[in-house]
Structure 1
Amino acid sequence: MSRKRISRAGAALAVAAVLALAGCSADSGARSDSAAAPMAAGAQPARAPGAAPSGAPLPGGAPSALPSADPRAIAYTGRLTLRVAGIESAVQQAETLAAQQSGYVEHEDTGDAGSAQVVLRIPSAAFAKSFDQLAGFGTVLNRTSQADDLTQQVVDVDSRVKSQQASVDRVRQLMQQATSLNDIVTLEGELSTREAALESLQAQQQQLAAQTSLSTITVNLQAAAPVPAAIAPKAPTGRGFWGSVGHALASGWRVLLAVLRALLIVLAAAAPFLVVVAPVLWFVLRRRRAGRAAAMAVAVPVAVQGEPAEQTEQAEQTE
């Protein structure tokens, strides 16, 4: 029993030692790759303007000894705010431009009739040209662009992916060589951990590739307000004598119509009051007339009775 336990312990120690060696080799490989990438990038001399490209033959016929320069990984982003005559036509032009440049429309919002937003994904090589073409679709209100250099991140992630892939391959080789169940279980757990780390690095690699291969341009569109048509002033016309007379007659007629209109408005406004006040006035006037008639009826007999006395007095005065 003691020999079996010793043999199992020795096997476990051997597997652990192999895994440790695999991890150390993976780390050293990652460090060497990441260190070699900047050195290789820094070792490339800058090419002077007008000089022959890297690897191209010189004028004398001898090939150039300079190594070829790797392109830098740059992510471009741009934003435009345009005032356009028609929202729908501008959106269609933006979509057509994206299709011509082998890009696509990532997002489109045309809910409001007076504004719209279009997000385009354009290949980075055609970013500057497409950005200028989009700016020509209308009046530029705002224009911003940004370039992010992701070369170092891309190199670092690529190196880590290679190292992690090599580490996964080593663990798989050890699983093929393992004979003990405990060793296989241990190696499977280690393989799952390293494969998960590899998948995470590969996702970062794909994300960086998407950022550097396709650039983002956001276009905000605003509808231009319609310009009102200018009203041309009427040319002054000369008037003669009869023209002045006709103008005065027309003015007087307009004044008369205005006065009649005002009177009609006043009568229309006073009509409800007249309906109420007229019977009262009629009743008051009728009472006054009746009072006057009664007073006259009383005064007439008195006058008739006093007439002989006056005649006798006049007769006596004459004698």
Structure 2
Amino acid sequence: MSVREGRRRGVPLMAVGLVAVLLAGGCGAGGSNGGRGTAAEAPAGGAAERDQAAPGQAGAGAPDLRVDQRSIIYTGTMQVQVDDVERAARDAIATVTAAGGFVGGDQRRSEAADARAELELRVPAAKFTAVIDELAKLGRQQRREVHTQDVTEETIDLDARITSQRARVENARKLLDRAGSISELVSLEGELAKREADLASLEAKKRRLGDLTTLSTITVTFVGPDASTAEEKTEIGFLVGLRGGWEVFLASMTVLLTVLGALLPWLVALGVPLVLLVRVWRRHRRRRTPPAGPAPVGAPPVGPLPTGPLGGPSPTAPPPVPATRSAP
């Protein structure tokens, strides 16, 4: 066979091989597409993978919400000096009521020299800034503090936990319906009660957060024109020192009585037996000690004789006993 004839035969064989490769590729692609369309386990497996991936994605961070979609708690405190405390308090309540809020607390002191009113006002979050500005216009603002707390992530987490806990409660109820024995029934009832209590606690937290984010809190204090002078007068003086000393004395007595009350049981438990033992020991010692005998008659006094004012013998001193000589 010549080289030219071999080349002629090789061209058809290469064409047939190329067609076979193309057909095999097309069949493989069709089979893979058909497998995705007909396999019953593929959707379930994908859903399971999505369910497993969802908690991880939720834990990675809160969704990127706009400012108006975030849950923010606004709280403000301010002090305003006014000419008439009662009138300023009435105007503040009227302003809050017109904004759709209400009064949460009201404390007033009506002394002429030191009039004072402290109001806790709840206003819608959307009108927080406008209301606090209106309150500042009622007099001369002396202090203002505004704080914000973003609880968006906590709210989202509570929603997820509430949903999960509700599912757990439903599962416990289903298991309770299929209980086959008294012991199993009692155990499932306890588990159901625990899950329902956890769910109620989560829902209470969610309501509390919702209340704080929906209604902001403003604590405003109205003071009279003489409030600063009255405060300076009451900061120093004899009565202030006396009151402070009395408070320190009461605190010290409280601590002393507390310590005494803590030690009293030990003193009773240990002191009474100790006193009894000391008394018994003393009686026993007295019984064992012999009584002292009478002094010998005619025995010379021991020690030097008392002397008179001029160095002689004292007139009250007893006469000296003459020394006796022994016989030679």
TM-score normalised by the chain length of structure 2: 0.49
- SS of 1:179's partner is coil
- SS of 1:224's partner is coil
Identity of aligned residues (%): 34
Q: 2:71 touches 2:152 (CA, 8 Å); kept in 1?
A: yes
In the alignment, what sits opposite 1:96?
94
Q: 1:34 touches 1:155 (CA, 8 Å); kept in 2?
A: no
In the alignment, what sits opposite 2:211?
210
Q: How does 1:113-192 map to 2 (within 5 A)?
A: 113=111, 114-192=115-193
Q: 2:102 touches 2:122 (CA, 8 Å); kept in 1?
A: yes
Q: CA deviation at 1:186?
A: 1.5
- Following superposition, which runs of at least 4 residues in structure 1 exceed 6 angstroms of deviation? 28-31
Q: CA deviation at 1:181?
A: 2.3
In the alignment, what sits opposite 1:200?
201
CA distance in 1, matches of 2:137, 2:52: 48
Which of 56, 69, 72 is the equivalent residue of 2:70? 72
CA distance in 2, matches of 1:30, 1:184: 32
Q: CA deviation at 1:77?
A: 0.5
Cα 1:34–1:134 change in 2 (3 A) is farther
RMSD: 2.7
Cα 1:120–1:36 change in 2 (3 A) is same
Q: How does 1:1-319 map to 2 (within 5 A)?
A: 32=54, 35-36=57-58, 41-42=63-64, 71-113=69-111, 114-225=115-226
Q: CA deviation at 1:80?
A: 1.1
Cα 1:81–1:31 change in 2 (3 A) is farther
- SS of 1:106's partner is strand
Q: CA deviation at 1:76?
A: 0.4
Q: CA deviation at 1:32?
A: 4.1
Amino acid at match of 1:218: T
Q: 1:103 touches 1:122 (CA, 8 Å); kept in 2?
A: yes
| Structure 2 runs not aligned, ≥5 long | 1-49, 228-328
Cα 1:162–1:138 change in 2 (3 A) is same
Q: CA deviation at 1:37?
A: 7.4
CA distance in 2, matches of 1:38, 1:100: 42
Q: 2:62 touches 2:156 (CA, 8 Å); kept in 1?
A: no
Per-residue CA deviation, residues 176-219 of structure 1 (Å, 9 max, x unaligned), is 22232222111111101111111111111111111111111011
Q: CA deviation at 1:161?
A: 1.1
- More deviation, 71-80/106-115: 106-115
- SS of 1:110's partner is strand
Per-residue CA deviation, residues 131-162 of structure 1 (Å, 9 max, x unaligned), is 11111111011111011101111111111111
TM-score normalised by the chain length of structure 1: 0.50
Larger radius of gyration: 1
Amino acid at match of 2:138: F
Amino acid at match of 1:191: L
Cα 1:31–1:144 change in 2 (3 A) is farther
Cα 1:108–1:183 change in 2 (3 A) is same
CA distance in 1, matches of 2:170, 2:81: 57
CA distance in 1, matches of 2:121, 2:68: 27
CA distance in 2, matches of 1:221, 1:129: 18
CA distance in 2, matches of 1:186, 1:216: 45
| Structure 1 runs not aligned, ≥5 long | 1-27, 47-68, 227-319
